[in-house]
Structure 1
Amino acid sequence: MTSAQPGAKTVKQAIQWMLRLRESGHNPALQQQCEQWRGAHPEHEQAWQRVIRMHQDLDLRAIPGAGLVLQTLETSQRRLHRRQALKLLGGLAMVGTAAWLGNDLDALSGWTADYATSTGERRSFTLPDGSLMQLNTHSAVDLAFNGQQRLIRLKQGELMITCSQAVNMQRPLRVQTRDALLEVFDGRFVARQDSDCTRVSVSHGRVAIHLPGNELLQWIEAGQDWRLDAQGAQRLEHVDMDAMAWSEGLIVTRDMRLFDFLEQVSRYRHGYLGCSDEIADLRLSGVFRLEDPEQLLQLLPQTLPVRLRQRTRWWVRVEGLA
């Protein structure tokens, strides 16, 4: 069954819940009520994800003046009636559409997807067939489950799929990425859609790859990592990061370039994060927790000859020691 789009009434309810939570500060009772509302119907959860996604992505990077409007929303209980706040949020989405589309198409993908996560968020979902889908930071997917197929379209970001052969052996579970169609009956794998390729890692079972225009079927076995792009499929003999570790809230590196490490950390935070060219090739190995990217960055000077230059919370550059 294809996932239905949440109706306007449900989306409005989700906006109301967001405003109530923001206005109340830390209110465990209200948070529990919101969780109950989200769990009452799948449509509620879809609407909630889309509202949260929009709220987090409509920032100063996407819409001029959005920062001021969001500040107004945060103090809407004192300065606006709820109806005015809802109109303001709706108006922000409309007047900012051109800038939003022009500067961040990924934000639109998250808003229109069946399931999505915001920057820094990781979530797990049980699919209609009982399979487990985990979404990494800033990811979005659509589902097409019906009598003929079990299909997941990865629109952006990264997912982990765990499925069992005991569940509907007649039809494989398929994941469509920009570069290939993946098929599995029984196994666990990660697919990440980068700007120039799709990366696939299998930890259990095996996954079939269907490349556009290629009739040959390629299999990815357990323990293998592959890169898929317009040129074809390439097995990666050496990888510098555990592809599965994010599902446990970790980045696990093995002799990884500092530049590449910061590129991965930047996926879990807003703003600029980079390093100077002279230290880009420094290597690091270790286990790093993702729950607080800013605290994670503070560990770098303890393991490498570097320092952090921070103009604001959103602008951090790693430099060599003078």
Structure 2
Amino acid sequence: MTAARPDATLVKQAIQWMLKLRENGHDSALQQQCAQWRSARHENELAWQRVTHLQQELDLRSLPGAGLALQTLESSQRRLHRRQALKLLGGVAMLGSAAWLAKDLDTTSAWTSDYATGTGERRAFRLSDGTLLQLNTRSAVDRASTERQHLLHLKQGELMITCSPQRQVLVQTRDGLLEGFGGRFVARQDSDCTWVSVSHGRVAIHRPGQAPVEWIERGQNWRLDAQGAYRLDQVNMDAMAWTEGLIVTRDIRLSDFLTQVSRYRHGYLGCSDDIADLRLSGVFRLEDPEQLLLVLPRTLPVQLRQLTRWWVHVEGLA
């Protein structure tokens, strides 16, 4: 069964409950309300466990956004009403922290999957018939094989398949079933779509209730989402480069570039709206994302603002 991923909104709610309990932990009614919230949905409990784990492992006070809100709440108790203090949780910093908490603490898929990688990790697996499965950062795959085929369920993240002629390879994504016919292809599952790129052979896209089958030929890039499957005339990233430990970009927006880099590091990484559309091209090594970010001020009119190693914001020059 596919493991749930903690939603950023639920992570924020879990932090709010934790803050309330820190202030009024003796309140039995509040404890019961929190317990009811946790038991109402499996996803609520998952978010609670993630926040609890973070507090134990990383010390919540040291983290951007969440830590600042917590410290401010504690120091404000004698001057502010609790409801006023909790409004601090609605700020941009809190939302940003909730989003990356959900992202960085999603380890359940790794525990319950046949193949998985952590943040910044890339791994290769050779299946029994010679099929090569490569996983990019924060990826999880389940496998169900028979004598005639491999069925790989991409639960999250990105994979590359180099097909063996010995056995049919099927990759199930949220947006469709991919059938590889020899060769090699990449599938990446984002929150709203699946990206597919074929370097050798070809891939058939099977979508329930839709016909005919779409075909992805060698050298093509496609996007699959709830509305359909679309061929992309141009792409701003080399879809295969990560297998060599690289990000290769062609006139990519700075905001989109940072989104890609953030997949390989812990914490928050973002930029100001006024520089989001700056363009970037080049070849960047993934082995050290922090060093990679230091390249930006040398190539663009930007500067890095870093509160901790967990929180980096790219801004325009003053």
One fold, TM greater than 0.5? yes
User: Are positions 1:246 and 2:234 aligned together?
Assistant: no
Q: CA–CA distance in 1 between the matches of 2:221 and 2:303? A: 33
1:109-162 CA-to-partner distances (Å, cap 9, x unmatched) read 221100000000000000122100100000000000123531000000000000
Q: CA–CA distance in 1 between the matches of 2:58 and 2:250? A: 41
Deviation, 1:230, is: 1.1
Q: Secondary structure at the residue paired with 1:192?
A: strand
- 1:62 corresponds to which letter in structure 2? R
Aligned counterpart, 1:68: 56
1:16-75 CA-to-partner distances (Å, cap 9, x unmatched) read xxxxxxxxxxxxxxxxxxxxxxxxxxxxxxxxxxxxxxxxxx99992326443579xxxx
Aligned counterpart, 1:22: none
Aligned counterpart, 2:310: 314
Percentage of matched positions with identical amino acids = 71
**Structure 1: gaps of 5 or more residues:** 1-57, 72-101
**Structure 2: gaps of 5 or more residues:** 1-45, 60-100
- 1:318 corresponds to which letter in structure 2? V
Counterparts of 1:295-314 in structure 2, within 5 Å, are: 295-314=291-310
Q: Are the counterparts in 1 of residues 129 and 164 from structure 2 also a CA contact under 8 Å?
A: no
Q: CA–CA distance in 2 between the matches of 1:145 and 1:274? A: 41
Counterparts of 1:286-301 in structure 2, within 5 Å, are: 286-301=282-297
Q: CA–CA distance in 1 between the matches of 2:230 and 2:208? A: 15
Aligned counterpart, 2:128: 128
Q: CA–CA distance in 1 between the matches of 2:50 and 2:128? A: 35
Q: TM-score, normalised by structure 1?
A: 0.68
- 2:302 corresponds to which letter in structure 1? V
Q: Residues 303 and 59 of structure 1: is their aligned pair in 2 closer, same or farther, counting only changes over 3 Å?
A: farther
Aligned counterpart, 1:158: 158
Q: Are the counterparts in 1 of residues 236 and 252 from structure 2 also a CA contact under 8 Å?
A: yes
Q: Are the counterparts in 2 of residues 60 and 66 from structure 1 also a CA contact under 8 Å?
A: no
Aligned counterpart, 1:113: 113
Deviation, 1:262, is: 0.1
Q: TM-score, normalised by structure 2?
A: 0.69
Return structure 1 stretches of 4+ with deviation > 3 angstroms: 58-61, 65-71, 102-106
Aligned counterpart, 1:260: 256
Q: Residues 176 and 183 of structure 1: is their aligned pair in 2 closer, same or farther, counting only changes over 3 Å?
A: same
Q: CA–CA distance in 1 between the matches of 2:244 and 2:283? A: 11
Please provide the CA RMSD for this pair: 2.3
Aligned residues: 232
- 1:147 corresponds to which letter in structure 2? E
Q: CA–CA distance in 2 between the matches of 1:119 and 1:259? A: 20
Q: CA–CA distance in 2 between the matches of 1:186 and 1:114? A: 23
Counterparts of 1:227-242 in structure 2, within 5 Å, are: 227-242=223-238
- 2:317 corresponds to which letter in structure 1? L
